């Protein structure tokens, strides 16, 4: 899952990025509204953390512009404390949720988690497909109750496919949602990760749809 953080306070930006990375997200970052708007306009994000008070273009304008242009990614806004008008304006502009400053980083993480999973149509942090269970809160994967040890890249691929189960996910989509801007997009690493997931988790969980990508089908829906 790939998240964009738009925050001009350098310390806060660093803290958010560190916490989100630690939680397993791929994170891009911007320190002003214009750059943030550009990234959200051109890159696919699974969630955005957007400060309201930003140089060059304020967060509300950034959000309004995205929504006007049909960008639907979930957006969590960061508002100043006691500025109820920020919250109202932000939600009217298309924010999905807000956190008031100062906040505990855990609250931001919990809200981002909820936004990502709701955007994928899930009410719970735990996704279960056949014997495989993935808990996006703890980052744990089990098969028939037995924990499976995955690298962070393997986990990201599995998490994305499980969130978007029943749908064919292309290699390009995986790369775009799992890596930041600087990643070499021509590499074959996705195939390598899928191969390892088949070995570690289950040989038939991830289906290859020739020429299109990968798909996870829940057993009751399998042909």
Number of residues this chain uses to bind Ca ion (CB under 5 A): 3
The verdict on 53 binding Ca ion (CB under 5 A) reads: yes
Residues 59 and 51 sit within 8 Å (Cβ to Cβ): yes
With CB atoms as reference, the residue minimizing the distance to Ca ion is: 53
90 in helix, strand or coil? helix
Interacting span for Ca ion (CB under 5 A) from 44-52, 119-127, 162-170, 215-223: 44-52
Least Cβ distance, residue 15 to Ca ion (angstroms): 13
Contacts made by residues 189-194, CB under 8 angstroms, sequence distance 24+: 189/153, 190/157, 193/153, 193/154, 193/157, 194/157
Q: What gap in Å lies between CA 87 and CA 95, rounded to an integer? A: 9
State which residue, 11 or 184, has the beta carbon closest to Ca ion: 11
Q: Which residue is listed with tokens 């749908």?
A: 167
Q: Could you tell me the smallest distance in angstroms from the CB atom of residue 35 to Ca ion?
A: 14
**8, 32, 43, 207: which one binds Ca ion (CB under 5 A):** 8
Taking CB under 5 A as the rule, does residue 86 contact Ca ion?
A: no
35 binds Ca ion (CB under 5 A): no
- Shortest Å distance, C-beta 33 to Ca ion: 10
CA dihedral 24, 28, 32, 36 (to 10 degrees): -110
Nearest to 207 by CA among 125, 130, 124: 130
Q: Which of 28, 35, 46, 51 binds Ca ion (CB under 5 A)?
A: 51
Q: Which is nearer to Ca ion, 35 or 51 (CB)?
A: 51
Taking each helix axis from N to C end, the angle separating 59-68 and 84-92, rounded to the nearest 10 degrees, works out to 10
Residue number with CB closer to Ca ion (61 or 142): 61
User: Applying CB under 5 A, which part among 50-58, 85-93, 117-125, 206-214 lies near Ca ion?
Assistant: 50-58
**Torsions phi, psi of 52, nearest 5?**
-85, -45
Q: Which positions lie near Ca ion, rule CB under 5 A? A: 8, 51, 53
């Amino acid at each position: 899952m790939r998240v964009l953080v738009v925050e001009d306070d350098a310390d806060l930006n660093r803290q958010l990025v560190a916490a989100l990375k630690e939680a397993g997200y791929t994170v891009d970052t911007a320190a002003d509204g214009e750059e943030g708007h550009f990234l959200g306009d051109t890159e696919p994000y699974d969630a955005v953390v957007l400060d309201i008070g930003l140089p060059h273009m304020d967060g509300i304008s950034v959000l309004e512009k995205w929504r006007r242009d049909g960008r639907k990614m979930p957006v969590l806004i960061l508002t100043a404390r006691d500025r109820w008008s920020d919250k109202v304006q932000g939600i009217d502009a298309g924010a999905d949720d807000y956190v008031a400053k100062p906040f505990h980083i855990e609250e931001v993480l919990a809200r981002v988690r909820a936004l990502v999973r709701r955007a994928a149509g899930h009410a719970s942090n735990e996704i279960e497909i056949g014997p495989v269970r993935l808990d996006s809160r703890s980052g744990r994967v089990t098969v028939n109750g037995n924990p499976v040890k995955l690298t962070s890249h393997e986990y990201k691929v599995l998490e994305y496919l499980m969130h978007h189960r029943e749908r064919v996910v292309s290699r390009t989509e995986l790369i775009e949602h799992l890596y930041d801007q600087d990643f070499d997009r021509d590499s074959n690493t996705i195939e390598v990760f899928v191969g390892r997931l088949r070995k570690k988790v289950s040989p038939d969980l991830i289906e290859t749809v020739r020429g299109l990508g990968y798909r996870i089908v829940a057993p009751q829906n399998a042909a």
